[in-house]
Amino acid sequence: MRYGGLIAATVVLAALGVGIYFSNKDEAKKAAKPPEDTTVKMVSLLEPDIQKIEIKKKDEDTVVERGNDRKWQITAPAAYRADQEAVNTLASSSANIAADRVVDEKATDLGTYGLKDPSLELDISTKDGKTKKLLLGDDTPTGSTTYAMLAGDPRVFIVFSSIKMGLAKGAKDLRDKRLLTFDQDKVSRLELLAKKQDIEFGRDKDQWQIVKPRPLRADGLQVEELLRKLKDAKMDLALSDDDAKKAVSAFATGAPLATVRVTDPSGTQELQIRKNKDDYYAKSSVVEGVYKAPADLGTGVDKGLDDFRNKKLFDFGFNDPNKVEVHAEGKNTSIQKSGEDWISGGKKMDSVSVQNLIDKLRELAAAKFVDNGFTTPAVEVTVSSNEGKRTEKILFSKSDKTYIGKRENEPALYEVDAKNVDDLVRAAGDVKEAAPVKKK
């Protein structure tokens, strides 16, 4: 037997096994290590330190600068209000720009990379007077990256093309496109001068009231909705010159629909809205020009007084009242909150039946407003809320299939479906004493 050959083969196999083991172990170590970071910081600044950004493109140069109030403004190609959010995004992107890698340590032919006459130059100036000049040239053959360099640095870098797209902004991209620039939370007065009726709203803290044509309760949600539509109305800067001229002509020949004036601490702004065929056009006191307006703005201002009146009979809203009194059909119901319980005549009342009554009160709303028809009261309801600071008393007189409601000390009359008032009276009669607690 040739034991010598067998032993030699065994030794070789063992050596190979050891080699594979250590090779695999080295590969595992390499795999466990994070990949080497080849990115290079081209620009690393603090965003608040950026004072000015110049965007130089072949078709337009755009400059944005911070004012004394630290807010951005566009100073070229003309003076425009800036969209603060859009420019802040640009500034944030400009403050930190990383290259994927260096492709040429010392470029001699910048034309090869499209950097001799770059398609985009970004000059980023900080408040210490220093400026970083970023040049962006051609896209690489893959199309997903772009050649870039810094003025004064001979190296050519590759950056992701998305960086170039994010920085290549023009004045139209960065302009504040709002037709009105008021602060919705600080508006104190709103005037709607419409063909249906001239209406003025005033706000005291968070409560809207109709001031003209006469003092009336306002539906705050409807007023805020109108303000939202005015705030969201924007210019369409993508229009061609021909379309812009058509808008001016359409406004000039259109039928006046409404003029809206909004007052906040900065002053009063005005928006004129006209309708031409099926389209709406707007002219603002804040910006030059005429612009096509969204249809929901046109329908939003094309409303009358009753559209903005508060149809709810009670103002306590989602706050639970402290006391409720209902007098109807010779019966009196009086309940008062004490801690977590409702009490009547010293007795604890059933919370479910009380809540049903409160829900009926909260849902009570006018079907429409009327000028007359109130006669002898048949139902009287008094609700105290806000820890007794607000008391609302409403009288109802019966009129055929409806009731006419009148809030105490107010001239307005509310026509309410008879079923709703009858359900309220029935709910008051159904309030009952709480079941006794069973002893264990």
| pLDDT tens track for 171-201 | 999 999 999 999 999 999 999 999 878 999 9
Spell out the domain ranges in the chain: 40-174, 184-308, 323-429
Instruction: Indicate yes or no: pTM above 0.85.
Output: no
pLDDT of 26 over the 70 cut: no
Q: Rounded CA gap, 200 and 218, in Å?
A: 10
Instruction: Determine whether 134 is exposed, middle or buried from the number of CB atoms within 10 Å of its CB (0-12, 13-18, 19+).
Output: buried
Q: Cα–chain-centroid distance for residue 269?
A: 20
| pLDDT tens track for 262-285 | 999 999 999 999 999 999 999 999
Q: Rounded CA gap, 405 and 368, in Å?
A: 11
The whole-number pLDDT of residue 205 equals 83
The whole-number pLDDT of residue 2 equals 47
The whole-number pLDDT of residue 4 equals 53
Q: Rounded CA gap, 149 and 156, in Å?
A: 5
pLDDT band at 19 (very low <50, low <70, confident <90, very high): low
Higher pLDDT, 4 or 245: 245
Average pLDDT over residues 411-427: 96
pLDDT of 256 over the 80 cut: yes
pLDDT of 160 over the 80 cut: yes
Q: Rounded CA gap, 161 and 368, in Å?
A: 60
The whole-number pLDDT of residue 27 equals 59
The whole-number pLDDT of residue 29 equals 53
Helix, coil or strand: residue 291: strand
| pLDDT tens track for 42-64 | 999 999 999 999 999 998 999 99
The whole-number pLDDT of residue 8 equals 53
pLDDT of 1 over the 80 cut: no
Average pLDDT over residues 22-28: 56
Q: Does domain 40-174 have CATH number 2.60.40?
A: yes
Q: What is the DSSP string of 366-432?
A: -SEEESS---S-SEEEEEEETTTTEEEEEEEEEETTEEEEEETT---EEEEEHHHHHHHHHHHHT--
The whole-number pLDDT of residue 74 equals 98
| pLDDT tens track for 61-84 | 999 999 999 999 999 999 999 999
pLDDT band at 39 (very low <50, low <70, confident <90, very high): confident
| pLDDT tens track for 337-357 | 999 999 999 999 999 999 999
